[in-house]
Chain A
Amino acid sequence: MEGVLTRLRGVEESDAPLLHAWDNDPEIRAALDVVFPVTISSTTEYIREITGSRDGVLFIVSDRETEAPIGFTTLYDIDWIARKAEFGIIIGDKRYWSRGYGTDAALATLSFAFEDLGLHRVYLSTYSYHPRAIRVCEKCGFVREGVMRKARYHHGAYHDVVLMGILYDEFAAHRGRPP
């Protein structure tokens, strides 16, 4: 799949060291629902699990210009009856933060979710201390659906978990607008 700035491809087992490094970076893991160290074998196992399943997908995001892998996006816990999936995105290469690459990769992933998989709804949860993620999601057309109060313990304090969701008709309408 192609965005304007990024390209998405399916994850390979050989991507494990890349994901493993991102998952263990303190600044990046703050955005993830992980606390204990992530091992290379659990990363490999996760890649095997998601590539062997039709209930989730993980894309490696690369810079279209340089081909360098810069992060990943994922749709997981796909529910084929409610036609929904949970969305996740990490831009692991920090040089690409706040430059539109995340939004571009997120839009390409949403397009896959709605127009290739035929899903009806995509949702996610993020943390109140992570405004960059919230901004990316709002730029893609996600709507804030709720706040789970004090549901994440991080750096010695409880923080809120922000719930966001987007429906197919909202995505279609949103994409018609200029960026």
Chain B
Amino acid sequence: MKTGELVRLRALERDDVARMHGWFNDPEITRFLGYSFPFSVDAEMQWYDNLQDPKKRDKVLGIVDRETGTHIGNVGLHNIDWVSAHAEVGITIGDKRYWSRGYGSDAMDVILSYAFSKMNLHRVYLRVYDFNLRAIRSYEKCGFVREGVQRDDYYCDGAYHDTVIMGILREEYLNTGT
């Protein structure tokens, strides 16, 4: 797998689960991911174990700061459709010290390169909530195009919010010259 300028991606290990359990119970992070009830380390471990099933159509990798080796977040391809050759990408920078510093965009570039050049996918898409402007800006920087808005699709903090759908095709990614 190619290495980014700031990050590299690696397989998740059991030792990472406790760290991820902290991220995915933090409301400041989960409000960007969709509703979930507070969940246990056991539930997180079960999620991890399910991920090891090679038939599963989700592949999730850890994002590591190249300089320090710190595991700072995850990026994954979900709902992989081998016939239509597309997948949904999801990304979380769990370590907030790395927010707004280009680490997410760098990790996204690595996973897009992997999706198109190694997995032979032809399209990658994502869903992002309308209030997550930091993420939308970063996805646009990566070359994603806004394809639609699902109105009142998400309920959070007492109100309905829209979900924005963004997509990028292989030829668009290759033409950005990254």
Contacts and interface: CB of A to CB of B under 8 A. Distances in A.
Interface string A148-166: 1111110000100001010
Nearest to B165: A146
A152 B154 CA distance: 25
Given A149-B123, A150-B123, A151-B123, A163 B169 contact: no
A150 B124 CA distance: 10
A165 B167 contact: no
Interface extent on B, as a size class? 20 to 34
Nearest to A167: B152
Interface residues of A, number: 22
B143 to A, nearest CB: 13
Given A148-B165, A150-B169, A152-B84, A165 B151 contact: yes
Given A81-B35, A151-B167, A146 B150 contact: yes
Contacts of B153: 82, 84, 121, 123, 165
Interface of B: 35, 83-86, 122-123, 125, 145, 147-155, 160, 165, 167, 169
26 contacts: A82-B35, A82-B153, A82-B155, A82-B160, A83-B155, A84-B153, A120-B152, A120-B160, A121-B152, A121-B153, A123-B153, A143-B151, A145-B149, A146-B150, A147-B148, A148-B165, A149-B145, A150-B123, A150-B169, A151-B84, A151-B86, A158-B122, A163-B150, A165-B151, A165-B153, A167-B152
